[in-house]
Structure 1
Amino acid sequence: MLVGSIQEITRHPVKSFTGEQVKKTKVMDYGLYGDRSHAFKDKDGKFITITQVPDMVRYQASFSGAETLNAYPELKVKAPNGKVLNWGGAAFQEEMDLLLDREAEAVVYPPAHIPFGAIEEEHILLVSDASIGELTKLWGSEMDGRRFRHNLVLSLVNKTPFLEETWFGKRIIIGNGVELEIKRHCERCMIITVDPSDSHKDPSLLKTVVKQRNNHFGVYASVLRTGEIRLGDQVFLTD
């Protein structure tokens, strides 16, 4: 059954940095190509995220070049002041030392396999256009979708808000055969309170999600069949 199409594809090359919207990408067995492939860990081996350093969200990471399984394309990071830095370069390291303000290790997972744990919950996070629209109404303020750090936005044929939450245990097929299993709710945390544009915190959004949605927004999916997806690809629901 046709349920919609791909409206937006977003990957986050650096965990907790703002991601990049792309027109097409590979879906790997771990999720979107290069998603959360680069990250920082503290001295105890735990990921450093927006939770500890809200200003991480003000840095935007993007790949520049073709996707290959041997090596990632060049990774560029745009700082809040507009300066573009190369991952691993001296200027980048100096910027990160100031940003993180703690002992930190940069880690990079290979393109062919990112271990479960970098994304932490599941392979892919998706939401629908109808759900974003409804939550915007419930919150009563203009919504920046980047707060939710989703990978896919589906444009639904049936514009019923939160329709994707009725698909648990079912599969969706995208484009030329990419197959995902819809697993469960995404339970939200303080990260959605952080405005990606200036890192200002507004707890009212999380309070709204807790009160109106039982702290659920978006659904997790696991990859069953890999391939390539593009904007506009049709999405079919199957048992």
Structure 2
Amino acid sequence: MLVGHIKEMVRHPVKSFRGESVQQTKIMEYGLYGDRSHAYLDDTKKGNFLTITQFPEMVRYKAGFVGEESMEEYPKVKVMTPEGKVFDWRDQELIKEIENKSNRKISTIEYSPTHVPIGPIAVENILLATDASLDKLKELWGKDQVDSRRFRPNLFISLKDKVPFIEEEWIGRRFKIGTEVEMEFVGHCKRCMIITVNPENAERDSSLHKTVIKERNNNFGVYASVIKKGDIKVDDEVHLLD
């Protein structure tokens, strides 16, 4: 059953940095190719990743791959700072800037193109959201707009029938994207303070989180696990399977 099409695909080459919108990519066992494949570690808290929770301004740093996707090694990762400077993600000047702003000592970690463990990815392989749900949440919140980047979905689906939150009813079912990729909806996405951070200026507004808690039991978006890998692209059809 056709339920919609892929409106946007976003991967985050560096965990907690702003992601990059891509027109086509591969779906790996862990999700979108290169998603959260690079991360900064908070050495003041051994074993923890530096995230928006500790350093909200991370949402203003944009990370992207430069070059062709490869299974042997990742393309170079470039980072644009809020001031518009561009660095390699491991550049010491960039690291010093982040350390000074966050008041933390950090180091870097990089995973294989064929394997990113749960941890950087958080809970599941893929996070999805729909246009109808975002529009309804805007209405519930009472603001002029809700930036989808607050929720950091990998796949943003334009629904054929604009039924808000219908994706939550699909949990437990499988779906197909394009001609190759199959996934299964596996659970709700419980939200945290990250959605309160404005992606443009890193300012906080707790009213959005309060709205999601009150109106949606703190759920927005659904997680999916990868069943069959393959190539996907923007405008690919999304079919719910029997």
1:157 lines up with 2:167 in the alignment: no
* Correspondences of 1:53-202 after superposition (within 5 Å): 53-141=55-143, 142-202=145-205
Aligned mate of 2:220, from 217, 220, 232: 217
C-alpha displacement of 1:70: 0.9
- Residue 137 of structure 1 aligns to a residue whose secondary structure is helix
Structure 2 letter corresponding to 1:33 = Y
CA distances 1:181-207 after superposition (whole Å, capped 9, x unpaired): 000110001000000111100000000
SS in 2 for 1:15: coil
Identity fraction in percent: 54
Q: Quote the residue 2:12 is aligned against.
A: 12
Q: How does 1:13-52 map to 2 (within 5 A)?
A: 13-43=13-43, 44-52=46-54
Post-superposition CA distance 1:38-66 (Å, at most 9, x none): 11122310111111111111101011111
- SS of match in other structure, 2:195: helix
Q: SS state of the match for residue 202, structure 2?
A: coil
Note if contact 1:56-1:99 (Cα within 8 Å) is conserved in structure 2.
no
Deviation at 1:95, TM superposition (A): 2.2
Q: Distance in 2 between matches of 1:99 and 1:52?
A: 11
Whole-angstrom CA distance in 2 between matches of 1:84 and 1:176: 37
Task: For 2:188 and 2:159, locate their aligned partners in 1 and report how far apart those are by CA, in whole Å.
Answer: 18
Q: Structure 1: how far apart are the matches of 2:231 and 2:221? A: 22
Whole-angstrom CA distance in 1 between matches of 2:191 and 2:217: 9
Structure 1 unpaired stretches of 5+:
none
User: C-alpha separation between the residues in 1 aligned to 2:95 and 2:56?
Assistant: 18
Query: Residue deviations 1:134-160, cap 9 Å, x none?
Result: 101111111111000110011111110
Residue by residue, what CA displacement relative to the aligned partner does 1:9-28 show, whole Å, maximum 9, x if unpaired?
A: 00011111110100011100
Runs of 4+ displaced beyond 3 Å = none
What TM-score results when the alignment is normalised by the length of structure 1? 0.97
Instruction: Tell me the secondary structure at the aligned position of residue 222 of structure 2.
Output: strand
Report the CA distance between 1:101 and its aligned residue. Answer: 2.1
CA distance in 2 between partners of 1:98 and 1:57 (Å): 16
1:182-236 superposed Cα distances (whole Å, 9 cap, x missing partner): 0011000100000011110000000000011110000000001000110000010
Matched to 2:16, the amino acid is S
What SS class does the counterpart of residue 166 from structure 1 fall into?
helix
Which letter maps to 2:67? G
The size of the alignment, in residue pairs, is 239
- 1:216 maps to amino acid: N
